[in-house]
Amino acid sequence: MVEFKINGRQVRAEKGETILDVAKREGFEIPTLCHHDVLGADGRCRLCVVELRRGKRKRIVTSCLYPVEDGIEIFTQTEDVKLVRKTVLELLLARCPSSDVIAYLAKQYGVNIVRYTKDNDKGKCILCNTCVKTCENIVGVSAISLTGKGPFKRVSTPFDEPSEVCIGCGACAVACPTEHIYMEDRNGFRTIWRKKFELARCPVCGRYHAPVEQLEFISKISKTAMDELLICQDCK
């Protein structure tokens, strides 16, 4: 076991756990946009920074990536920490001025004026990579990825064309922390990533509930009959 302090309170943790994992478990609030309990962390958003002190030395670290150590002291709301978070939120707000999530967090830290030129072509994407990891590690199809470099980096399908392997499950849209990914269900079809999917209709209640391609994918990997999968969860 590892023993250290968070905001003056002595805590214990397993070796290998991150500061963020322990802080959340102990009830300390640390903001983050790119951390996911299942997918882990990439340290991309930099909102989860905390102040780490060891003796007389102190520094700012990314809590979602930094492993706990014996004897360290962690502070989650120092002036230096708040300044870093405020700067990060100002940059994020400039990148994604239409994001309600970022606007809410920015307001919490007193960011009322953005000094940087606002981007109106990035949508609400903060390049957290959560959608890509969800598609690859959870769904298992790798239909999307980060493309481009520098200011032109973004999430997209190969060559910006409808992906042949996308099954329309919508897991990427659900995982997105800023609601950037567009998905719409209408008239028996789902549209996502510039591709239209026919929705399966439950033979019991008649409700549209999942793309046919998604059910076919599940049937193939789980060896479950399509007749069973066509029945929605509410009717099973």
Mean pLDDT of all residues belonging to the chain = 96
Burial of 98 (0-12, 13-18, 19+ CB in 10 A): middle
Phi and psi at residue 163, to the nearest 5°: -75, 135
Strand pairing partners for 168?
none
pLDDT value of position 126? 96
Span 169-207, pLDDT tens digits: 999 999 999 999 999 999 999 999 999 999 999 999 999
% pLDDT > 90, the chain: 95
User: How far lies 213's CA from each of 105, 107, 187, in Å?
Assistant: 37, 42, 17
Per-domain residue ranges of the chain: 2-108, 130-235
d(CA 116, CA 41): 27
168-198: b (≥16 Cβ within 10 Å) or e: bbbbbbebbbbebbebebeeeebebbebebe
Kindly state the tokens that stand for 100: 């309600």
pLDDT band at 136 (very low <50, low <70, confident <90, very high): very high
DSSP H helices, 96-225, are: 100-108, 130-133, 171-175, 212-222
pLDDT band at 51 (very low <50, low <70, confident <90, very high): very high
d(CA 38, CA 119): 31
pLDDT value of position 160? 93
**Terminus-to-terminus CA distance in the chain, angstroms?**
45
pLDDT value of position 228? 96
Read off the amino acid at residue 169.
Answer: C
Burial of 79 (0-12, 13-18, 19+ CB in 10 A): exposed
d(CA 129, CA 172): 10
The DSSP symbol for 135 reads: I
Give residue 131's Cα distance to chain centre. 7
Mean pLDDT of all residues in 12-16 = 95
d(CA 25, CA 11): 10
pLDDT band at 112 (very low <50, low <70, confident <90, very high): confident
pLDDT band at 122 (very low <50, low <70, confident <90, very high): very high
pLDDT value of position 15? 93
Span 62-96, pLDDT tens digits: 999 999 999 999 999 999 999 999 999 999 999 99
The CATH topology of domain 2-108 is Ubiquitin-like (UB roll) (3.10.20)
Handedness of CA 144, 125, 123, 213 (dihedral sign): positive
